[in-house]
Homo-oligomer: A and B are copies of this chain.
Amino acid sequence: MQAEQQEAEFLRSYNIHDYDIPLTSVDIVIFTVQNFSLQVLLVQRAEHPFRLRWALPGGFIDIHRDDDLQATALRKLKEKTGVATPYLEQFAGVGNHTRDPRGWSATFPFFALINPEQLDLQSGSAVEDTRWFVLDELDQTGPLAFDHAQLIQAALQHLRHKVEYSSLPVHLLPESFTLSELQHIHEIVLGKNIDKSAFRKRVKEGDFLEAVPDGWRLGSNRPAQLYRLKQLQPLVYFQRPMIGR
């Protein structure tokens, strides 16, 4: 077929370096809940541009190592936190000629949810320039690199919006947890309190959790049933939003 030959010839003569194209990167807003607060992971840049400023973990797509954007995000996440299986979702896209002094730059921002247990596993692999920041105290870091302050705000807005309608926060908890713990996580992320009865009605109706057989959280009080996410139930949406008091 002549058409196919033409197409093959076109591809042979095509050289990407003949064109001016934007830099393309992936940035990750990694959320966790620790000490009753929502936190985000930042790294202090060791290289130019914005050397020594705090920034989101991320970087350029490695077209020789990464099969797709998700692979880039997972690679960066693994490098910084050791976590291999987070909840990971791309939530926006930004590109302009002002955000990076090296030139026209575009980024695919992801947000990731991980739980503190996954973190503890990793704390040994010393990464000096990596720290968790409480979201409300981000102004104490000095200006962030690039437009990362805006990306964090966008991620937060996306997270809160989604939490109102879905079972997303289970990914901020270890594999098994009590309903009270899950409710507490919702409250921390949303920044407001939720009625216990209404919350449990919704969770029960959403049908995305299963009781851990013989799993109980013990303490100086009535023991609580442990639950875990049902398999093949990545995300459940509620009919009406979770409104606080």
Residues of A whose CB lies within 8 Å of any CB of B are 3, 6-7, 10-11, 14, 16-17, 19-24, 48-52, 60-61, 63-64, 67-69, 90, 92-97, 101-104, 106, 108, 239-241
Contacts and interface: CB of A to CB of B under 8 A. Distances in A.
Given A7-B48, A48-B10, A96-B69, A61 B241 contact: no
A56 to B, nearest CB: 16
27 contacts: A3-B51, A6-B51, A7-B48, A7-B50, A7-B101, A10-B48, A11-B101, A11-B102, A14-B102, A21-B63, A22-B24, A24-B24, A24-B106, A61-B95, A61-B106, A63-B97, A63-B103, A67-B96, A67-B97, A68-B95, A68-B97, A69-B94, A90-B92, A92-B93, A93-B93, A106-B108, A240-B240
A21 B19 contact: no
Contacts of A16: 20-21, 23, 102-103
A75 B16 CA distance: 22
